Chain A
């Protein structure tokens, strides 16, 4: 059966050519995005955190070396944050993720391990570690904070009055050196205003100031040093410079920057791998056409009667067709994506476009997953073609099911964000989640929309949604084929 269908497929020159063109389109268009960036050589070496993810690590740090176990306690006032206004001067705003608190850090090098307890602009007390860890504490903008080190375990506490303490969280930092840099810090990220629905974003650097008093260390107190870690991240020119002052045991610290993972949305930096995969859409339309023709051409020429006479078990005919079309389109897709992923990345990077670091495993997942998604689309086209028996309607249905949600949610984001997310969850376009390579961090303010590479489903779940559509269509097609007169 499968052999017979394979012979049918390879004997139509047009279909084989369409597969070759599809693979060539994926590979060829990977270098055609024309992206231009300014990220060349050492000027654009992005810091990497302990987990290998891209991070920003800049803050104002008032610190001293601390050896062994001990604790730091301090009282902190609410943050005051400033952003520049268009015609000079500054404006006072609430920066939701501005941070002020206590940090213990392996060293002053960017990207080194840390654990910190902090108050934030509007997200209450947080205990954060190693850039990606984030534990929510009591909701307050000022109060008492305490960080306790015991070996590689660090525990954060918060208190409104300095008497009754709440444990916020405990984290383990394996390999934390015996002597760490510990002290007080303030940082203040890019201030973004996001209008949802139209996904328009305006942003500017911010800077924040907090005062700390009654600092108490169980370690022998050495002298304090102020360091602008990852310096010069640039607060508003009109505001006070980043730095610190100390009078009567009260520290006033002004900082700008962020200690957090880097995101890829409009508030972050860089591009995503999807930019190198524009050819996948060309291939999708070609493969949908081939898939629909694979069955409807038989109806058009009456060959279906011969096929069903040769193999009266009709479901097996359909299964054989689905297997053959699935395998050949998977192979064609794989040939394209295996070239496009490495080539497209190299091309984008050579034009100075920043791409987040991708592990080999992620790249393989994008290559194989995209090919699998294309193959499933072709199978869906076979199934819908069997149902409609009219090729035009089958192609229109497949393209409309995949392209319309994709265009609405990703290309021209007309749909409001919640709708865009739902479109990328329930329609066959959900399979595009296999192209997703960026992680969403709730502790970083950004627009996490499909248009910026943030898909609501994991790659496997997205592929499973398309699998479900293909399986449903195949089941309906099998029922129709068995009931219907050919």
Chain B
């Protein structure tokens, strides 16, 4: 297993596309977060805004990059036929997928720590000047903010793993990216157009993106369809389900 991870790490390290993707994950997310933070205002009369969700607004875009990072690696192997060499070297297919998951998860986790750290720091420094002060009941140093940051890092990592599972199953970068981003962005659109509030709430409970957002919330937790940790659990279930399907397909299929 260690050797398999070492082999995957060598592949990732030597692929300029992977480095570009991780760099753009950090840059794009922090840029969107910084813009959102700087334009958000909370009037003295109070507002329903959540400082953690404002600071992490870049994740709306960043998750697309994370998903792409998940789908690109293995789909490129299928595209070039490299997958046959990989499987000749590591015939145990579950082990190959596990090694890929560990390397992808580790590298996206590292990039996410940078992303979320920079975004939360920007929020911590700028938001108090925009009306989000302790006097108005915002606790920018509290445990809630730390939990939101942890959940955001894990969310991005899980989205990348979701992409890996889907790409392993469908073997094509375009289709895999389409499916993964569809899973992320279609639920919110569907929920906002649903006329029946019960249906909308159910959609919000099962949607990976909404569940992830719930996990990054610090205010109005009572009104959310899921608690933060439940939200992270839903995202983890999606990633685990996709990886499981990818593994089953990879095990049964001729490459």
Q: What is the interface of chain A, defined by CB distance below 8 A to chain B?
A: 33-37, 195, 197-198, 200, 271, 274-275, 277-278, 281-282, 285-286, 288-289, 292-293, 296-297, 300, 348, 351, 353, 390-396, 399-400, 403-404, 406-408, 410-412, 414-416, 418-419, 451
Contacts and interface: CB of A to CB of B under 8 A. Distances in A.
A290 B57 CA distance: 29
A304 to B, nearest CB: 14
B41 interface: yes
Nearest to B200: A34
Which of B43, B71, B178, B186: most chain A CB closer than 10 A? B178
B60 A408 contact: yes
Contact of A416 (B41, B173, B181, B190): B41
B189 A392 contact: no
Contact of B185 (A274, A394, A407, A419): A407
Contacts of B47: 195, 197-198
A288 B54 CA distance: 29
A395 B178 contact: yes
A408 B68 contact: no
B172 to A, nearest CB: 7
Interface stretch (B5-13, B191-199, B235-243): B191-199
B213 interface: yes
Interface of B: 17, 35-36, 39-43, 45-49, 53-54, 57, 60-61, 64-65, 67-68, 71-72, 75, 79, 172-178, 181-182, 185-186, 188-196, 199, 213
Contact of A395 (B41, B48, B181): B181
B83 to A, nearest CB: 14
B211 to A, nearest CB: 13
Do most interface residues of chain B lie in helix, strand or loop, or is the interface mixed? helix
A275 B54 CA distance: 27
B54 A396 contact: no
A36 B195 CA distance: 6
B185 A34 contact: no
Contact of A289 (B54, B61, B174): B174
B178 to A, nearest CB: 4
Contact of A33 (B67, B176, B186, B195): B195
Contact of A197 (B40, B68, B175, B189): B40
A400 B64 contact: yes
A300 B172 CA distance: 10
Chain A contact residues: helix, strand, loop or mixed: helix
Contacts of B71: 392
A34 B201 CA distance: 13
Given A393-B72, A395-B178, A197 B41 contact: yes
A390 B194 CA distance: 35
Contacts of B67: 396
Given A390-B17, A407-B188, A414-B54, A419 B64 contact: no
A173 B119 CA distance: 58
A200 B193 contact: no
Given A393-B72, A396-B65, A198 B192 contact: no
Contacts of A200: 48
Given A197-B49, A414-B53, A416-B40, A392 B174 contact: yes
A215 to B, nearest CB: 41
Contacts of B174: 289, 292-293, 296-297, 391-392, 394-395
Nearest to A195: B47
Given A281-B189, A300-B79, A391-B177, A33 B72 contact: no
A393 B199 contact: no
A415 B192 contact: no
22 contacts: A34-B195, A34-B196, A34-B199, A195-B46, A197-B40, A197-B49, A200-B48, A285-B178, A286-B178, A288-B178, A289-B174, A390-B17, A392-B177, A393-B72, A396-B67, A396-B177, A396-B181, A400-B61, A407-B60, A411-B191, A412-B192, A416-B40
Contacts of A403: 64, 181, 185, 189
**Nearest 5 A/B pairs, CB to CB:** A35-B195, A391-B174, A392-B173, A289-B178, A34-B196
Contact of B175 (A275, A289, A399, A419): A289
A285 B64 contact: no
Given A34-B199, A281-B189, 9 more contacts: A197-B41, A278-B193, A281-B190, A285-B186, A297-B174, A392-B68, A406-B189, A407-B188, A412-B188
